[in-house]
């Protein structure tokens, strides 16, 4: 076990400051976090998860101050059908492949939930209602977290190679990347329009946590647990309404938007510090095969739907 030392603390602090600079993009921040955690102990390991959650929510709410209500509603309507289709396909393919691989049913369902909705958040919401144990949860999180990180690194490059428009990439990132942090991070790398579209569609996709949690509870006959409403999404909408109808000074809106983007980069650095080689080895081959398969499937299918039927 790596010890927290003065050196590791100083390096950690320096990297955080570097991530706040204008020269570090979301993918670079993630890679810096991954490299750091292979050699040094995280000085904020005990609060890393909560800090990531809070920073991500603050960042998303702040991005709302750069968006307008009518534009957001139009994007939301457009993304609804695509989200529903891909969600159903993801669960269907996940169920079939899970049986073919003879994989633990709960692990299969958790990985499918994370891929279909919003990565770790979906797994955290679904796990209690299906009575998943710690091992099942950690394996599912490990698989989804790895693929989510890979997506952040490769999606912008694929988008540029395929000459995807800002609109097309925003939709694709929102549907095919797991966690909200990496969706917004990839879109931030691609462009401002892609960022607006990806954020709106992704948060709409995240709301599916509620019906999926209830459906999972019935399917696995779990305890009478309640699905939590993601209130930061409500605040995101409030920010959009304020930006649309309140005449804020331009410098305030621009500043909030800029700070939100930089906080997101810092968040992705912290996400990277949780990607350790040991956790990936413990996940095993079958869960990884399932995760990669349904992720590739939905990535290709969603891209085809966006390019030819959108």
What is the per-residue pLDDT for 87?
A: 92
Q: Give the alpha-carbon dihedral of 25, 31, 37, 43, to 10 degrees.
A: 0
pLDDT at 88: 93
Cβ–Cβ under 8 Å, residues 230 and 54: no
pLDDT at 292 > cutoff 80: yes
- With 0-12 / 13-18 / 19 or more C-beta atoms within 10 angstroms meaning exposed / middle / buried, residue 252 is exposed
Summarize the confidence of residues 133-149 as an average pLDDT. 80
Q: Which among 48, 4, 114 is positioned nearest to 273, based on CA atoms?
A: 48
Is the CB of residue 303 less than 8 Å from the CB of residue 176? yes
At residue 1, does pLDDT exceed 90? Answer: no
Higher pLDDT, 154 or 63: 154
pLDDT digits (tens, 9 = 90+) for 249-278: 878 878 888 888 888 888 888 888 877 766
pTM beyond 0.95 = no
Is-contact 40 2, C-beta < 8 A?
yes
The b-or-e profile of 139-155 (16+ CB within 10 A means b, else e) is: bbbbbbbbbbbebbbeb
Whose CA is closest to 110, among 91, 96, 93?
Answer: 91
User: Per-residue pLDDT tens for 205-224?
Assistant: 877 877 887 788 878 875 44
SS3 of 97, please?
helix
């Amino acid at each position: 076990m790596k010890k927290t030392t003065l050196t590791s603390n100083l390096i950690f602090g320096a990297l955080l400051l570097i991530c706040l600079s204008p020269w570090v993009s979301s993918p670079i921040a993630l890679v810096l976090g991954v490299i750091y955690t292979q050699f040094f102990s995280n000085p904020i390991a005990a609060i890393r998860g909560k800090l990531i959650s809070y920073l991500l929510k603050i960042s998303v709410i702040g991005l709302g101050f750069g968006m307008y209500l009518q534009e957001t509603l139009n994007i939301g309507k457009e993304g609804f059908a695509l989200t529903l289709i891909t969600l159903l396909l993801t669960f269907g393919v996940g169920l079939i492949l899970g049986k073919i691989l003879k994989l633990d049913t709960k692990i299969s369902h958790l990985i499918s939930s994370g891929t279909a909705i919003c990565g770790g958040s979906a797994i955290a919401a679904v796990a209690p209602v299906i009575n998943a144990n710690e091992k099942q949860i950690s394996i599912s999180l490990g698989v989804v977290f790895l693929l989510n990180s890979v997506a952040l690194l490769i999606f912008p490059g694929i988008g540029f190679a395929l000459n995807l428009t800002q609109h097309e990439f925003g939709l694709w990132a929102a549907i095919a990347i797991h966690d909200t942090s990496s969706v917004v991070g990839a879109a931030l790398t691609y462009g401002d329009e892609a960022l607006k579209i990806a954020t709106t569609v992704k948060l709409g996709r995240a709301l599916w946590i509620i019906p999926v949690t209830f459906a999972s509870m019935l399917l696995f006959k779990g305890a009478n647990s309640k699905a939590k409403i993601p209130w930061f999404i409500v605040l995101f909408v409030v920010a959009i309404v304020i930006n649309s109808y309140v005449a804020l000074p331009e410098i305030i809106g621009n500043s909030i938007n800029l700070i939100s983007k930089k906080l997101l980069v810092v968040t992705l650095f912290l996400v990277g510090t949780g990607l350790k080689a040991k956790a990936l080895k413990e996940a095993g081959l079958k869960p990884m095969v399932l995760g990669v398969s349904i992720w590739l499937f939905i990535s290709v299918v969603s891209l085809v739907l966006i390019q030819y039927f959108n």
